[in-house]
Structure 1
Amino acid sequence: MTKEAARTDVVAALLPLERLRKRPDFLRAARARRVPCPAFLLQARERAPDEAAQAIRVGFTCSKKVGNAVARNRAKRRLREIARLTLPDHGRAGWDYVLIGRPGETGQRDFAAMLDDLQRALRKLHGA
């Protein structure tokens, strides 16, 4: 690991997660890299240096295919929690991540397995 990558990882662990809330941010992430997982799809992009602060930004989405409002909210709560537990340690500052729920799987998959899936996806994404 290079000095710059190590410094980025340390900075990422200290920064709080920021939420993606605007549609253009989600669309930019949708055009970037994707890593499929059994319970969700991870989309990620590295922001340009001139963009906003070097925090980790994360967004969540579940379509109506996931189920009714109760099922979608449960799926998003689970995605928010795995992001809160995983991204500060394994994410990189200056990156946007979007977690997209999958029908049937996001709400039902074992929580520990979802944590492992996100860690594996981030390792694959960042080449570590």
Structure 2
Amino acid sequence: MAGKLRRRAEFLHAQAGRKAVRPGFILRARQRRMGPDGGARAGLTVSRKVGGAVQRNRIKRRLREVLRAIAPERMRDGFDYVVIARSHALTQTFASLTRDMESAFAAVHGEGRSPRPNR
């Protein structure tokens, strides 16, 4: 599993990076300068807008498990990731959440997309 983002400044730094929006969450990713711990780091945000404490904790557990399942092959060293939960994460199937997370990681890393033509 990746390291954790703990400080507000770390979350804000990652928020300024690339974004992938999915029904159950928003994934933000940004590369950082390599320090003594050059591995990937992740943080979860679940606001009160999503629901009460029980719903928020359930969403956190589900998203944490999805991250744990796909982190080894999708997270890149030197990147910070922030997952911002949305209320749909509560009703979405685990398989669907996993597919969405994999496609979100591909999107923030620019995989599987053709370059945009110049205008």
Q: Verify same fold: TM over 0.5.
A: yes
Shift of 1:52: 4.3
CA RMSD of aligned residues (A): 1.1
CA distance in 2, matches of 1:122, 1:17: 14
CA distance in 1, matches of 2:84, 2:11: 11
Which segments of 5 or more consecutive residues in structure 2 lack a partner in the other structure? 112-119
After superposition, the C-alpha distances for 1:7-61 in whole angstroms (9 at most, x for unaligned) are xxxxxxxxx4111111110011111111101100001100113x34211100001
Asked if 1 retains the 8 angstrom alpha-carbon contact of 2:28 and 2:108, the reply is no
Q: How does 1:112-127 map to 2 (within 5 A)?
A: 112-127=95-110
Within the alignment, does 1:23 sit opposite 2:8 as a pair? yes
TM-score, normalised via structure 1 length: 0.82
Secondary structure at the counterpart of residue 67 of structure 2: helix
Runs of 4+ more than 4 Å apart: none
Q: How does 1:69-108 map to 2 (within 5 A)?
A: 69-103=53-87, 105-108=88-91
Shift of 1:87: 1.5
Residue 7 of structure 1 is matched in structure 2 by none
TM-score, normalised via structure 2 length: 0.88
The number of equivalent residue pairs is: 111
Which segments of 5 or more consecutive residues in structure 1 lack a partner in the other structure? 1-15
CA distance in 2, matches of 1:122, 1:46: 13
